Each structure stands twice: as C-alpha cells, then as structure tokens.
Amino acid sequence: MASILEFLGLKKPKQGKKKSSSEQFIEFCEQAAKKYPYNGKIAPELRHALEYLEWPIDPAAVYSGAKLAGLYAAVAGVFVSMMLLYVMFIEPNGIEDILTYPMDYLTNPMFLLFLSFPLLFWAGGYYSVLSMPISEAKKRFQQDMFPALRTLGYFVMSMKLVPNLEHGVKFATEHGKGFFADKLSRVLWNTQLGVLHTIEEGIDKIAYQIGYYSGEFKHALMRVRSSLMEGDDAKRYVILDSALREAKTGIKERMLEHAESLYMPSMQLFYVGVFLPLLVFIILPIGAAFSKNAIVSSPYFIFGAYDVALPLLTFFFARYIISQRPNVYEMPYIPDSFVKDYDKIRRRAIITAVIAFVAVVAFGYVAHLFLDTTPQRVAPMVGMSAEQIEQILAHPNQNPYKYQFLTQSYDFTPYVLIYSVYLAVALAIFVYLRMLYAPKAKHQADIMKMEDEFKDAVYVLASRMGEGKPLENALLAVNENLPETKIAKVFERIAYNIRVLGLTIRDAVFSPAFGVLKNIPSKRLQDAFDVLVSSVTLGTELAAKALVVLSEQLRDEEDVVKAIRTKLSEIAGMMIMMGMFIAPAVLGITIALEKVIMSSLSGLDLSNLQNNGINQAMSQFGLNSGIMNKIGNAKVLQMPVWVFLVSVGIYVLEVAALLTYFSIYLLNGRDKIGMFLKLGYAVLIAAVVYIVVSYASLQMVGSMGV
C-alpha cells in the first residue's frame, strides 16, 4: 500500500533519494506482478512504448499494476459513492422515501451516476496505469521532435566534415539536447564499454525504436549511416542532405498535424471553462430556490463552485493541453538581476497599485451614496427609519410582506459600489503587472531580435573565413556588413576579447568574467555559439563549411517555428478574444437574466400546485405523484442579485486570466514575462466589458419594471 501512496504522491519514501514518477511506477507494477501475475496477451503498442522509454520492466507487470490500481480505485469509489448518496439523497429525503419510491431514484441520472462510481473509478484506475507508458512515450517523442531534429542536424554537420560515425555521434551529443541526444550518448557509452559491438548496431537500434513513432526519422538515420559507404564526397553530401531534408519534412508535418489537433481540446476548454458554467449558472438559481438542501441555496456554494472549483478544473485542463504542445522554441527569460534597480521598480509598482485601488474605491463609494438606492434615501418615502429598513432586509422571514414590498419597489443592490471595487481590483492588477514586467519585456524583445539576427551573422562570418581571413577580421566583418544589428556588437566584442585580452575563442564567448554571453540570458544563443566555437576550432576551411551548414540549419529551424506558431496563433487568438470580450459580455448579460428569473420566482407559493390538476397530468405520463407531494410544501426562496454579480464578476477575471495563460503558453511556450504582461491587459479589459454589459443589461430590464 505504501508504494501506491508514494506513486500517487501521497507519501514520500522514508529513506534514500526521492524517486522519480517513472521509478515509482515501475516499483508499483513489479510489486503488483508478485501478487497478481499476468499471463495474457501483450499489446504491441505497450511493448514499443517500454522499449522506446527503455524502462527496465516486463510489459506483463504493467497489466498487473493496472489490475491492482483498479482494485484500489474501486474501493475508493465505494466510499465516495456512499458519501455522496448520503449527502444528496439519504440525508435530505430519508431512507424510507427511497424505499417507498425506488423508481423515482433509479430514473434519476444523478443517483445512477453516484451509484456507478465504483465501476467508473475502477475503469479510471485500470486504464490510467495501463496507458501511462504509452502516453509517456508519445509525450516524450512529441516534446523531443524539434530538439531531435536539431541533434540530427549536428550529426549530419559533423558527418559532412569528418565521415566518421563515432565522431558524428560525439559531436551531436555534445551540442544536442533532448531524448534523442540522450539515446545517442548512451549508444556511445555502451560502445566504448563493449556492451555494443559497433556503433552502427546502436544507431540501428535507435532507428527502429523511433521508427514506430516516426518512419521518416528512422529512414534519415539509416541514410546517415549508409552515407559512409559512398566514397565520393559530393554524393555523400547529397545523401546526408536528403536524410536531413526527409527528417525535417516529416517532423514538420507531424508537428503541424499535432498543433492542429490541439484545436478540439482548446474548444473543449472553452466549453468546460465558459460555456458549461454559463448554462449551469442559468439554471442554478432555480435549482437553489426549489432545493431543500441549504448548501445548494447558499452563497458559499455559488462562490465555491464558480470561483474555486471551476477555475481549478479549467486550470488543470489548460495545463494538460499545454503539455501536449510541440516543443519548438523556448522564449528567453529575463531574471530580476538583469534589470537595473528591479527591487525599486517592484516597490514602486506595489505602491502605485495600492494608490490606484484606493482612489477608485473612494470615488465609487462617493458615487454609491448619490446614485445607488440606499435605506437612507428610501426611508422618507416609505415612512420608516433607515434602521428599520436595514433590519427587514437583513431578516426577510420576520416581515415577509414588508420585505417583498421593499425589494419589489426598490433595488437595494449597491451596483456602483460593487463595480468600483471590482474595477479597482482589475486596475491594481494591471498597474502592478505592467510596471513590473514591461522593463523585462523590452530586454526580452532585444534578445529575441539578436537570436533572429544570428543566422545572418554566422553566414557573413563563414563567408569571410572561406576567403581565408583570420578569425578576428572575420568577426569584425560582421559589424561592417550588418552595422544596424544588435548581434554585430556581440561579434565585435568577441574580437576585442581575443585581440586585446588575449582570450581563446571559447573564453571570449563563455568566460564568466569577460565572456560576451554572461549578460545575455538566451539558451538559444548559448547553444548556437557553442556550435560556432566548436566549428571554428576545426580550422579555417572546415570552419567555413561548418558555419554555412549551421546558418542553413538555423534558417530551416526558423521555418518550422514560424509554421507551428502560425498554426497555433489561430487557436491562441481565438481564446484571448473569448477571455477578454466574449465571455465577459455573455456573462454580463446573464446577470440581467438571473434578475428576471429571481424576480419572477420571488415569493412564489407552490402549495396550490396539488389542486390544479398537475398530479393527474403527471400520472398520465407515468410519473409518481410523490414528487409533487415534496414540492407542494415548498416556497421559493430569493437569492440576492449581488451574490451572482460578485461571484460571476470574480469568475470573469479568473476566466480572462486562465485563457490568457493558456493562449500565451500555447503560442510561445513558458513565456512568463509575456503571459503576465498580457494578463494585466486581459483582466482590465474583461472587467470593463463585464461592468458595461451587465450594467446596461440591468438598466434595460429595470426599465421594463423587473
């Protein structure tokens, strides 16, 4: 039992190093195999996934683990089912009522759903464990497609310069990253240890492992291996170029297909996060009014469901979709130390946000006293004191007739005050995020510009070195040919470090004290300069050829990145539009609809429903009259409009933030700077749209006498 708790993250191992999720999964399955051995048929997809992941586990043990996990989940489902059935049906209605009218409950979808929880939990536990290696293998391959293409490019680059597989694998593993680079590194290590007879054997093994997920990549690796059989360099270059081209085309198509496949999950996110809550919100007041359960008709239930449960569900669903995004480009992240006086900027942002919040709330309070209906303003009109009106509003059951008269004649909801606090929160968030992340965004844009300029600079450097110029002169030639670019200044600084400080090319770039990259937080430039430095050390002629190949490879990568971002921008733009405009407008209109529903149900007495022939009509449709006996003694309760106004308002801000987070991370990857900067704008715009639409809708229904 301890292993499954550790696997689920509910208990930490007592001793030793903390185990990874894969290690916990393997251990759990191996222990399950001892208790419940499996001798049935193994799915080929599971076998291929375990081979690709290289997990040291028998596929049959995964089936045993699935059976044990299903058993644990079914037991948990029994407890959850019993608890929900008791809270929702047994406690409010009594076990006698269920036994008296069993068909009423057995035809209730919610009752049947709770009753089926053990079976549903078993299926979830069983198939989640069984599909875990398969989904993990697909996820790793999808995340590794672009890094794998880059690693293959380094492999091809080395094979063009030095036709030796071991040298090519070593060069690729030194500069490449990702799962494919790790596999090549393991092949090189096993060959040196004698585990593999030849490095060709290891490359063939990798090709067949990856071939199950990408036939193009498998063929590319085989072509790279077969290029050694060609003695003519020109023909060998053609084979290597065709191998890289085939891999690039295949992976690009797969990544585009995968990016397009995210459209449907994104729409599901919209339905789960916006559309479904909207439908539930429309029927919620009716269900709360007729419900005998005090929890359902409580404001705490509405706030908990809309402002806690639904946002959490939307957030985790969004994170899951983002995890399926192709890993094509990593945005440069700017640390706090990179911005001058960043601590002062943070303090200034906090103070400014607080001032903005207090100013808007103060203005709203003053406007509330003059514009909103208050007990002080109504008291002279109805011949009561303000204290009496406040007492009636606070305790409607003590004087139901006076309460009904007051609420139907006057709307005591403090709209202006609520709107001012709501707008103040959104404005404070906007001011804080804008001041905090705008300086970082500027530096981020500069670094991204340098990354884009690097490929042209490398081509100029290769051309000058191909002419036989010394390295220092070739570096300075970049500034002469590209004087307006930021990257040219970086190459000029490298030449200065070599000439004046006497540093090697590697120290001139990567030295912690004098290196040009010590103040440029860009992993892409770090990797690119690492390849550049390694190429330059090969000699002038070989370096020129290597840099030309590097420049072409960077252009190919840029084409893939642009294609993927173009495909994902359609989804991201749609979700941002929904979060900033569509969702706030629709939910704002819904507030007026809720007011109409609550006004229509206000004070409605259902005790006469039994006398108007409804029972007779229901019996004709085969429905039990016991239902009407329960409803007949009910009296509809009215929930204040401000509960919906505030709850939905908070949810609007959360939806705007969640959809912005989803859109930016889907489009740019983990772009924390861009996400928070865009989030500030999204929250403010969504708040303004919600206030304008909801207020206009309420004024419209108010003019109709509602």
In a domain, 154, yes or no: yes
pLDDT tier, 66 (very low <50, low <70, confident <90, very high otherwise): very high
In a domain, 353, yes or no: no
Q: Which residues contact 441 (CB under 8 A, 6 or more apart)?
A: 673, 674, 677
The whole domain housing 496 covers 444-558
- Gap between the Cα atoms of 318 and 315, Å rounded: 5
Q: What is the pLDDT of residues 352-397, one digit of tens each?
A: 999 999 999 999 999 998 888 888 888 888 888 888 888 888 887 7
pLDDT in the model for residue 286: 64
- Domain boundary pick from 261, 285, 305: 261
Q: What is the pLDDT of residues 228-253, one digit of tens each?
A: 888 788 888 889 888 888 888 888 88
> Which whole number is the average pLDDT over 667-687?
93
- Which two tokens mark 477? 């030639």
Does one domain contain both 633 and 644?
Answer: yes
- Element (DSSP H or E) covering residue 469: none
- Gap between the Cα atoms of 68 and 73, Å rounded: 9
- Domain boundary pick from 207, 228, 261: 261
Does one domain contain both 48 and 132?
Answer: yes
pLDDT at 636 over 70: no
- Gap between the Cα atoms of 604 and 583, Å rounded: 32
Burial zone of 624 (CB within 10 Å; 0-12 exposed, 13-18 middle, 19+ buried): middle
Q: In the beta sheet, which residues pair with residue 635?
A: 605
CB count in 10 Å sphere of residue 454: 23
For residues 103 and 97, is the Cβ–Cβ distance under 8 A?
A: no
In a domain, 632, yes or no: yes
In a domain, 570, yes or no: yes
Does one domain contain both 122 and 228?
Answer: yes
CB count in 10 Å sphere of residue 580: 24
Q: What is the pLDDT of residues 283-339, one digit of tens each?
A: 766 666 555 555 566 777 778 888 888 889 889 999 988 888 877 778 888 888 889
For residues 295 and 91, is the Cβ–Cβ distance under 8 A?
A: no
Does one domain contain both 565 and 696?
Answer: yes
pLDDT in the model for residue 29: 92
What's at 316, amino acid-wise? F
Q: What is the pLDDT of residues 389-403, one digit of tens each?
A: 888 888 877 887 787
pLDDT at 555 over 90: no
pLDDT at 77 over 80: yes
Does one domain contain both 305 and 237?
Answer: no
Does one domain contain both 149 and 229?
Answer: yes
Length of the chain equals: 706
Nearest partner of 644 among 360, 276, 278, 270, judged by Cα? 278
> Which whole number is the average pLDDT over 252-268?
83
In a domain, 377, yes or no: no
Does one domain contain both 184 and 235?
Answer: yes
| 3 state SS for 62-120 | HHHHHHHHHHHHHHHHHHHHHHHHHHHHHHHHCHHHHHHCHHHHHCCHHHHHHHCHHHH
pLDDT in the model for residue 633: 41
pLDDT in the model for residue 611: 44
In a domain, 356, yes or no: no
> If you ran DSSP here, which 8-state letter would residue 406 be given?
H
pLDDT in the model for residue 468: 82
Does one domain contain both 571 and 535?
Answer: no
The 3-state DSSP composition of the chain as helix, strand, coil percent (nearest 5) reads: 80, 0, 20
Does one domain contain both 391 and 477?
Answer: no
- Domain boundary pick from 509, 535, 558: 558
pLDDT in the model for residue 623: 40
Does one domain contain both 543 and 604?
Answer: no
Does one domain contain both 545 and 574?
Answer: no
In a domain, 60, yes or no: yes
CA angle 455, 461, 466 (to 5 degrees): 125
pLDDT tier, 581 (very low <50, low <70, confident <90, very high otherwise): very high
> Which whole number is the average pLDDT over 463-473?
85
pLDDT at 7 over 60: no
Q: Provide the number of structural domains found in the chain.
A: 3
Which whole-number Å values give the CA distances from 405 to 8, 26, 394, 592, in the listed order? 57, 69, 14, 21
Q: What is the pLDDT of residues 172-213, one digit of tens each?
A: 888 888 888 988 998 888 888 888 888 988 888 888 888 888
pLDDT tier, 607 (very low <50, low <70, confident <90, very high otherwise): very low
In a domain, 430, yes or no: no
For residues 425 and 373, is the Cβ–Cβ distance under 8 A?
A: no
Does one domain contain both 616 and 499?
Answer: no
pTM confidence score: 0.79
